[in-house]
Amino acid sequence: MRSRNIMVVALGGTALLAGCSGGPQFNSLAQKFQMMAPAKEKLAEAKSTSAPSDPYQAALRSAYLGYADYEYSRMQDYTDTIFHSEKAIAAAGGRQVQPQAIGDRMLPASDVGRLTAARERLTTALAAGAPSIAPGPAARAVASFDCWMEQQEENIQPDDIAACEKTFQQAMAELDAAMAKKPEPVAVLPPVVTVDADVLFAFDKAEIRPEFASELDEVAEIIKANPGKKLEIQGHTDSVGSETYNQGLSERRAKAAVEYLVSKGVRADRMTAKGYGESRPVASNDTDAGRALNRRVEIHTQ
């Protein structure tokens, strides 16, 4: 926000209050308001952008839009309306937005050290992954730092300086707390997960039994925690019955497992269903115990 030197102009008995821009002072109201149309146009351009899908970029866009709108509507600071609008546009376009460099503002010498330290603290957090760890606080920290820089350059509105700095410090405190937390360990998806078909399915059926679906629920969570893995869901049977029948049963069971995993949030394009019938036994089909081992669903990572 630029400084607001208040001018009172009598117009037909009505007092017109006009705020004159600070920073580099304008020589006249006419010079100041020459910036009004470009600022209005740039703000409209920023508002017309769509929020990006990335949470950090979206939060940056929102924060800078807030500052731009305030500068235009409340403070009539058209230079900084353009500054914040351009940063909102950059964020909306997915471009990298850095906190303003210390040398870009004519700062009071007594405040350079404090702002330099604050910027270094912020850029260190950004380089350490803050935008992905805590996108909201990271975006607020960047935008409020620029607000603080702007206010400190003008150096005539202590309440506004304090407000921008407070927002920055609060955002950094949230950011530091989020980054201090140790990430939850990600469950590793083994090469093969085997589920007992006798548990999942009733005899000679291909519908997953709801009371035993938790067997696949756990698998679904592990799969979702490993988004880069492609999967082949395999159905297998024992040798009881005809080979043709067992092939069909294994295919139906593999498909049922895929459909269940999709219902639990696993993307369908990550999985293929394949039945192998009785062709790949893992134990002898000569005993009940061996046949039970052969009746299975296997989830193979690729």
d(CA 63, CA 75): 17
d(CA 81, CA 44): 11
What pLDDT is recorded for position 17?
28
What pLDDT is recorded for position 227?
84
Backbone CA torsion sign across 97, 101, 106, 111: positive
What pLDDT is recorded for position 41?
96
Three-point CA angle 174, 95, 167, nearest 5°: 25
- Identify the three-state secondary structure at position 289: helix
Show Cβ contacts of residue 11 under 8 Å, excluding neighbours closer than 6 positions. none
Q: Which amino acid, 253?
A: R
Give pTM, 2 decimals. Answer: 0.56
Sheet of 271-275, strands arranged across: 192-196, 296-301, 231-236, 271-275
294 and 285 in contact (C-beta within 8 Å)?
yes
d(CA 7, CA 19): 7
d(CA 66, CA 273): 50
What pLDDT is recorded for position 24?
45
What pLDDT is recorded for position 5?
38
What pLDDT is recorded for position 44?
95
Alpha-helix residue ranges (DSSP H) falling in 22-181:
29-33, 36-47, 55-70, 78-92, 109-127, 130-133, 135-154, 158-180
71 and 1 in contact (C-beta within 8 Å)?
yes
Instruction: Kindly report the CATH class assigned to 192-301.
Output: alpha beta
Taking the CB of residue 179, how many other CB atoms lie within 10 A of it? 15
What pLDDT is recorded for position 284?
95
Backbone dihedral angles phi then psi of residue 249, each to the nearest 5 degrees: -65, -45
Which tokens sit at 111? Answer: 């405040």
Tens of pLDDT, residue by residue, the chain (302 residues):
554 433 222 223 322 223 334 444 445 566 777 889 999 999 999 999 999 999 999 999 999 999 999 999 998 899 999 999 999 999 999 999 999 999 999 999 999 999 999 999 999 999 999 999 999 999 999 999 999 999 999 999 999 999 999 999 999 999 999 999 866 676 677 788 777 777 788 788 889 888 888 878 988 988 888 888 889 999 999 999 999 999 999 999 999 999 999 999 999 999 999 999 999 999 999 999 988 889 999 989 87
- Identify the three-state secondary structure at position 208: strand
Q: Give the start-to-end residue ranges of the domains of the chain.
A: 29-180, 192-301
